[in-house]
Amino acid sequence: MTSIPREFLPPWKLAMGDKVELVIAHWTLFGPKRSGLYETTKELAIYESHIPGVYACLIDAQHPAGGKVDPTDGRIGTHAHNFAYKWADIHMIHFSHTPYGQRLQPKIFMVHGTPEACLHGEMHNPGGHSFTAALHWIEHCRRSIVFTKRHYYFWKPYDHNDKLCLVTRGIDLQRYRPEGMKVEFKCHPAILYGEVWRPIKDPFITFYGVREYIKRNPEARFYPFGLNEHRVLWHEVIMKANFDMMFAEYAYAGVQEYPEHYFRGGDMLISPVYTGEPSRTCCEALACGCPTISWDTDNFGDNHSLEKARAFDPMSMADAIERLWKRIQKNPRRIRRQARRIAEKYHDMRKMAKEVVEICWEVVNEER
């Protein structure tokens, strides 16, 4: 095992007083605010490093010098490529872009992408390779990791050596918690949507569902945020159909640096992922005590939203909003506690980090 010098460890790790016996290099793309893949990888590395004997570091594949610090989270920065080459005991890749991966020959591949999203991304992007590269890593890495049962089912046929592993889909429950600063919404129910506006989880049908509910309850308002691409297109979609009449303050916003402020203040969040799986945004909202609504397309038991709407049916979505709002009005604290308990049970990053570290040790010990 590599013995990493103490001067290369951050003060908080040194304060733990343990001897580092396993160094994990997480190769990712630096994307604060805009990338759920990056946020999950960052949180995973932080929580792994709090396990005695383990230090995990972020390596930005596109910037060899390292030294980048997340502007919204100073707990961790990126290390230089040379640091990983010299000190890491195991390399884990979190993206499916070459040529970086070809040079690395990592031992573990974490598959973040929904299979359909990877496939469609490659179909619509000439020269893209997000799906076929994933197949390459599943074939060549010693282990591949997924964190929903649905992903396991759809990626498993490409795993010919029984190397695919399923772990908990975790987030940082210390950052995403009910207590703390929150947005004070003027209109209620304040219905949130906070995904990145991309295929498979875009808000197009949601606009119709929320509008149907507002016909029943004119005091309700829709607060969509997270728009960072195709702004001209979405402006046309919204303005030409007068969907903006559903909005109030803070709406039609871009990617938020601190989405937890929205989740703590909002009454509910709609997470309309077509495949029914829980998005990272859905998990964050639950952790902040914000109840969620999803489509009923989860056939694997991954999604634990408090309400489900019949797939792609605006009227059913309006019904789900109405049911949830009635439950909230009866006992708002109970509903928010229920949402938080769901996150603690199913989306704890401490559990995910422990499971991933166990897989890393398996691979390292196999190569001894």
Total of domains in the chain: 2
- Mean pLDDT is lowest, of 58-72, 145-159, 335-349, for 58-72
- 117 with 222, same domain: the answer is no
- pLDDT at position 255 is 79
Tell me what the mean pLDDT of segment 251-267 comes to: 88
Q: Is the pLDDT of residue 158 over 50?
A: yes
Q: Is the pLDDT of residue 101 over 60?
A: no
Q: How far apart are alpha carbons 138 and 205 in whole angstroms?
A: 34
Tell me what the mean pLDDT of segment 44-54 comes to: 96
Q: 147 with 352: CB under 8 angstroms?
A: yes
In a domain, 185, yes or no: no
- pLDDT at position 104 is 64
- 353 with 336, same domain: the answer is no
pLDDT above 90 as % of the chain: 74
In a domain, 183, yes or no: no
In a domain, 184, yes or no: no
Tell me what the mean pLDDT of segment 87-92 comes to: 94
pLDDT above 70 as % of the chain: 96
Q: 255 with 228: CB under 8 angstroms?
A: yes
User: Bridge-partner residues for 108, per DSSP?
Assistant: 92, 143
- pLDDT at position 114 is 92
Q: Which element (helix H / strand E) includes 148?
A: none
In a domain, 182, yes or no: no
Q: Is the pLDDT of residue 187 over 80?
A: yes
- pLDDT at position 100 is 52
In a domain, 257, yes or no: yes
In a domain, 353, yes or no: yes
Q: Which long-range contacts (CB under 8 A, 24 or more apart) does 149-158 make?
A: 149/300, 149/301, 149/302, 150/275, 150/276, 150/277, 150/298, 150/299, 150/300, 150/302, 151/111, 151/114, 151/115, 151/277, 153/300, 154/115, 155/111, 155/115
Amino acid identity of 84? A
- Mean pLDDT is lowest, of 91-100, 178-187, 327-336, for 91-100
Q: Is the pLDDT of residue 250 over 80?
A: no
- 164 with 24, same domain: the answer is yes
User: Bridge-partner residues for 42, per DSSP?
Assistant: none
- 163 with 312, same domain: the answer is no
- Mean pLDDT is lowest, of 12-21, 66-75, 88-97, 250-259, for 250-259
- pLDDT at position 99 is 47
- pLDDT at position 98 is 54
- 160 with 111, same domain: the answer is yes
Three-state SS annotation for 274-330? CCCCCCHHHHHHHHCCCCEEEECCCCCCCCCCCEEECCCCHHHHHHHHHHHHHHHHH
Contacts of 367 (CB under 8 A, 6+ apart): 107
Q: How far apart are alpha carbons 336 and 78 in whole angstroms?
A: 35
- 121 with 62, same domain: the answer is yes
Sheet holding 190-193, edge to edge: 221-224, 190-193, 268-270, 292-295, 307-309
- Name the residue with higher pLDDT: 85 or 320: 320
- 153 with 236, same domain: the answer is no
Q: CA 307 → CA 19, 314, 329, distances in Å?
A: 46, 14, 15
Q: How far apart are alpha carbons 87 and 39 in whole angstroms?
A: 23
- Mean pLDDT is lowest, of 71-85, 90-104, 185-199, for 90-104
pTM metric for this prediction: 0.94
Q: 362 with 88: CB under 8 angstroms?
A: no
Contacts of 290 (CB under 8 A, 6+ apart): 192, 263, 264, 266, 267, 268, 269, 336, 339
Contacts of 232 (CB under 8 A, 6+ apart): none
- Mean pLDDT is lowest, of 77-86, 274-283, 293-302, 304-313, for 77-86
- Its domain, for residue 70, covers 6-170+348-367
- 56 with 139, same domain: the answer is yes
Per DSSP, the residues of 149-195 read: HHHHHHHGGG-TTS-EEE----B-TTTS-SSS-----SSSSEEEE-S
- Mean pLDDT is lowest, of 92-106, 123-137, 202-216, 301-315, for 92-106
- pLDDT at position 195 is 93
pLDDT tens column, 171-182: 999 999 999 999
Q: Pick from 7-16, 106-115, 288-297 the range whose average pLDDT is largest.
A: 288-297
- Name the residue with higher pLDDT: 126 or 155: 155
Q: How far apart are alpha carbons 357 and 125 in whole angstroms?
A: 34
| Chain position carrying tokens 């001209």 | 232
Q: CA 256 → CA 157, 172, 261, distances in Å?
A: 37, 17, 9
Q: What is the CATH number of the domain that holds 111?
A: 3.40.50.2000
- pLDDT at position 124 is 86
- pLDDT at position 129 is 81
Confidence class of residue 10 from pLDDT cuts 50, 70 and 90? confident
Average pLDDT over the chain reads 92
- 65 with 109, same domain: the answer is yes
Q: Is the pLDDT of residue 189 over 60?
A: yes
What is the Cα 73 distance to its own chain's centre?
A: 16
Q: How far apart are alpha carbons 38 and 35 in whole angstroms?
A: 5
- 18 with 162, same domain: the answer is yes
> What's the full length of the chain, in residues?
368
Q: 89 with 23: CB under 8 angstroms?
A: yes
Confidence class of residue 191 from pLDDT cuts 50, 70 and 90? very high
- 49 with 93, same domain: the answer is yes
- 11 with 91, same domain: the answer is yes
pLDDT tens column, 14-32: 889 889 999 999 999 888 8
In a domain, 178, yes or no: no
In a domain, 175, yes or no: no
